[in-house]
Amino acid sequence: MICDLQHLTKQFGGDDILTDVSLFIEQHDRIGLIGRNGSGKTTLLRLIARLDSEDGGTIYRKSGLSIGYLEQIPVFDRSMTGLDVLWTAFAPLVDLRRSLQRIEQDMASETNQIERLLERYTQETEAFERQGGYLLDSKIERMINGLQLHALLDRPFEQLSGGEQTKICLGRMLLTEPELLILDEPTNHLDLEAVEWLESFLSSYPGAVLLVSHDRVFLDRVVTRIVELEDGQLHLYRGNYTHYVAEKERLLLEQFHAYQEQQKKIKQMKDAIRRLRQWANEASPPSEKLFRKAKSMERALERIERIKRPQLEAETPDLVFSAHGKTSQTVYRLEDVGVSFSERTLFQSVTFEVMAKDRLAIVGANGSGKSTLLHLLLGKIEPTTGLILRGPSVKIGYLSQHITFPDADRLIDVFRSQIHVDEGTARQRLAQFLFFGPRVFLPVTALSGGERMRLMLAILVHSDLNVLILDEPTNHLDIDSRDALEEALESFDGTLIAVSHDRYFLNRLFSKTLWLDQTIDVFHGAYEYAASKRQERSAVTVTANMHKPLSTNRQQKNPIQSPSTTSQLEETIQRSEAEVALLDQQLEATQDYSKVSELYTLRE
């Protein structure tokens, strides 16, 4: 066990956030922490990561336990690039490598000190190798390829967006390989390919992983234990997310059955007490024996530990989408459409149709043009080339991933500015989306990301539309809210078009998938089907390339190099000279004749 939480409590402003929370973390655990937004998940992570202190209880950590947790973006030197920041994960080894480079330079110039320098060089080389120094470049390159950081490497770190800095810092933290890796929504800012790589990386991670995520497929593929934070308490489940759902349903039904049985027993006891008192009073004279019997039964009733009535369904928005009016059979037709910005081409030669009642998912790497394609369909921008035709009677509802409202407005005013109803009706409709009582008069600036999403959904549900276009609609939503949204969208009988990274959402709702990669591939199936078809196609391409003759004059791509103060050529020459000198020394000193041949081969 590397970490043990015992009976933790935490309060904010007099409110209980955590109540009697206990959890143990083993060396190779894969734990998914789930719960509704605002339930206290981040608070619990901060306590484990030593960034906050508990009000009660105890946290035992293994002596010297290294913990990785990215709460805020660290401050780095202004001159550092994205690649430089990645290399800081290996700062001690980078310093050791530079020391080796300096020794190599000294050996090339100070021949009279060669013996002393060789001894020091041997010691530092052994330390460098023992600590995995020769694997640094491959580790860095693996992280860059996996998280797709190539476009961020040469740019000044301080000029990157918040999401881009988070990706770099995530890569840096993964490279440090702490014994306990704590991740809070790690799939944010990652495209689907990077998310799937991260799943593979975490599955083979040598330490323990504790993560918060609302990505249900990610939880299914990575974690082996689910911990749910509900009403300030933790509930533990073995298995991944799918097992958790089934097990929680089974336990809730058991608890509800036990609750019903107890309520039946309580009613029987109350009836018996009432009858005993009645009989005691009707007796002539009144029966003290029956009164004592009734009193004894009352005390027994008071001693019963009441089972709390389990909530079989979480409180979720009451969403029902209905299309208003019919569209033409063809909703959109794109003919040879291309979009370019400056010298960069996002996509070209795009031709496809969106038909009435289609459920079309748009996927692709970050920066491939998914949101741009939505803006084309919305008429917000014009294509560089080609033609976009929209059918008659198309009435569009749009949900952006960046939801903004006038800051000065109250929640109810924003709703009524779009849906023209009186205040009473507005409050009734907003209550369906869990905006109750005085909360409807809050300024929109006080709303969380999830609450802004709910408000926008409330507006869309009551709007006149038959085509719904969604850009990352599950962002900022917890799992219960995602389930509620999906249930509502399942009932929508209009045309549905969405960009999303949520594979559960994509697989549940969509029957057609458009994959953007400079041009498009349209698959008549959900995301999982489309991904498998692309993988099959990629495997065929790889097999075909294996049978092609190798080009003898093809340039080899330069591997990513660590920061250096001298030219690569000079370093290579000096390193080679030092290695030859070291091998010569080993040849002279060795008494093991079986190693002579090996050393001689290395020298050559």
- Give the per-residue pLDDT at 543: 62
> Residue 546 pLDDT > 80, yes or no?
no
Indicate the average pLDDT of the chain. 86
- Give the per-residue pLDDT at 549: 54
Residues 401 and 284 in one domain: no
Per the CB < 8 A criterion, the answer to whether 414 and 405 are in contact is yes
At 573, the pLDDT band (50, 70, 90 cuts) reads low
> Residue 44 pLDDT > 60, yes or no?
yes
> Residue 595 pLDDT > 70, yes or no?
no
Confirm whether 529 is domain-assigned. yes
Average pLDDT over residues 362-381: 91
Q: How far apart are CA 97 and CA 107, in angstroms?
A: 15
Could you tell me the pTM of the whole model?
0.79
- Strand, helix or coil for residue 147: helix
- Give the per-residue pLDDT at 445: 86
**Which of 201, 220, 239 is where one domain is finished?**
239
At 285, the pLDDT band (50, 70, 90 cuts) reads confident
Q: How far apart are CA 473 and CA 488, in angstroms?
A: 13
Confirm whether 26 is domain-assigned. yes
**Sequential DSSP letters for 199-242:** HHHHHT-SSEEEEE---HHHHHHH-SEEEEEETTEEEEEES-HH
Q: How far apart are CA 437 and CA 593, in angstroms?
A: 88
Confirm whether 341 is domain-assigned. yes
Residues 183 and 278 in one domain: no
- Which residue pairs, CB below 8 angstroms and at least 24 apart, start in 484-492? 484/316, 484/317, 484/319, 485/317, 485/319, 485/457, 487/319, 488/317, 488/319, 488/320, 488/321, 488/457, 488/461, 489/321, 491/320, 491/321, 491/322, 492/321, 492/322, 492/323, 492/468
Confirm whether 88 is domain-assigned. no
- Give the per-residue pLDDT at 569: 46
Q: For residue 231, what is the domain's CATH number? A: 3.40.50.300
Residues 12 and 51 in one domain: yes
Average pLDDT over residues 29-54: 93
Three-class SS string for 331-346? Answer: EEEEEEEEEEECCEEE
Residues 392 and 529 in one domain: yes
Residues 210 and 233 in one domain: yes
Residue 147's Cα: distance from chain center in Å? Answer: 13
At 590, the pLDDT band (50, 70, 90 cuts) reads very low
- Minimum mean pLDDT among 300-304, 494-498, 564-568: which range? 564-568
**How many CB atoms within 10 Å of residue 149?**
20
Confirm whether 587 is domain-assigned. yes
Which token pair is 417? 């500015």
Measured torsion, CA atoms of residues 534, 539, 542, 546, in degrees rounded to the nearest 10: -160
Residues 228 and 249 in one domain: no
Q: State the residue range of the domain holding 574.
A: 568-603
Residues 265 and 200 in one domain: no
Confirm whether 1 is domain-assigned. yes
The residue with greater pLDDT, 179 or 455, is: 179
Cβ burial 399-428 (10 Å sphere, 16+ → b, else e): bbbebebeeeebbbbbbbeebeeeeeebbe
> Residue 394 pLDDT > 80, yes or no?
yes
**How many CB atoms within 10 Å of residue 490?**
13
- Minimum mean pLDDT among 7-21, 179-193, 395-409: which range? 395-409
Residues 47 and 193 in one domain: yes
Summarised one tens digit per residue, pLDDT across range 228-268 is 999 899 999 999 999 999 999 999 999 999 999 999 999 99
Confirm whether 148 is domain-assigned. no
- Strand, helix or coil for residue 508: helix
Angle at CA of residue 577, ends 575 and 578, nearest 5°: 65
Confirm whether 100 is domain-assigned. no
Summarised one tens digit per residue, pLDDT across range 308-317 is 888 766 666 6
Q: How far apart are CA 149 and CA 171, in angstroms?
A: 9
Residues 494 and 519 in one domain: yes
Residues 474 and 584 in one domain: no
**Which of 192, 223, 239 is where one domain is finished?**
239
The residue with greater pLDDT, 234 or 583, is: 234
Residues 507 and 408 in one domain: yes
At 189, the pLDDT band (50, 70, 90 cuts) reads confident
Residues 407 and 471 in one domain: yes
* Residue 174 burial by Cβ neighbours in a 10 Å radius (0-12, 13-18, 19+): buried
Instruction: List the alpha helices (DSSP H) in 407-510.
Output: 411-418, 423-431, 449-461, 479-491, 503-509
Q: What percent of the chain has pLDDT over 90?
A: 58
At 348, the pLDDT band (50, 70, 90 cuts) reads confident
**Which of 539, 559, 576 is where one domain is finished?**
539
Structural domain count of the chain:
4
Which residues, other chains included, contact 544 with Cβ-Cβ below 8 Å and sequence gap of 6+? Answer: none
Which token pair is 15? 């409110």
* Residue 301 burial by Cβ neighbours in a 10 Å radius (0-12, 13-18, 19+): middle
- Give the per-residue pLDDT at 433: 84
- Give the per-residue pLDDT at 550: 44
Per the CB < 8 A criterion, the answer to whether 54 and 47 are in contact is yes
